[in-house]
Amino acid sequence: MQLGSQQETIRAVNRTIRDFADDPRIPPNEPWEFFCECGCFTLVTLTVAEFDTASHVWVEGHEASLLSA
Ligand SMILES: [Zn+2]
């Protein structure tokens, strides 16, 4: 499996979750589960504000393993 395209798929899924969370009836501090972008599919709990602030969604330490790959 090609890692780059898998990351793109995960980012697209995360954006879909983000769009779904963008509902005025949902409190802004509601935690949502996004997927780690390294491709491991571990769930990362973030609020919408945290997701918007973060440029990437990673489990702690997974970014390093991706960069060294
Ligand atoms: Zn990961």
Q: How many domains does the chain have?
A: 1
Domain containing residue 26: 3-67
- What pLDDT does 43 receive? 96
pLDDT at 6: 86
d(CA 7, CA 30): 25
Between 7-11, 41-45, 57-61, 64-68, the lowest mean confidence (pLDDT) is in 64-68
Q: What is the pTM of this model?
A: 0.82
At 39-49, the pLDDT tens digits run 898 999 999 99
Centroid of ligand 1 to alpha carbon of 1 (angstroms): 16
User: Up-side HSE of residue 16: CA atoms within 13 Å toward CB?
Assistant: 7
- DSSP β-bridge partners for residue 32: 46
Choose among 31, 28, 32: nearest CA to 13. Answer: 32
pLDDT over 90, % of the chain: 65
Q: Which residues surround ligand 1, an ion (CB under 5 A)?
A: 36, 38, 40, 59, 62
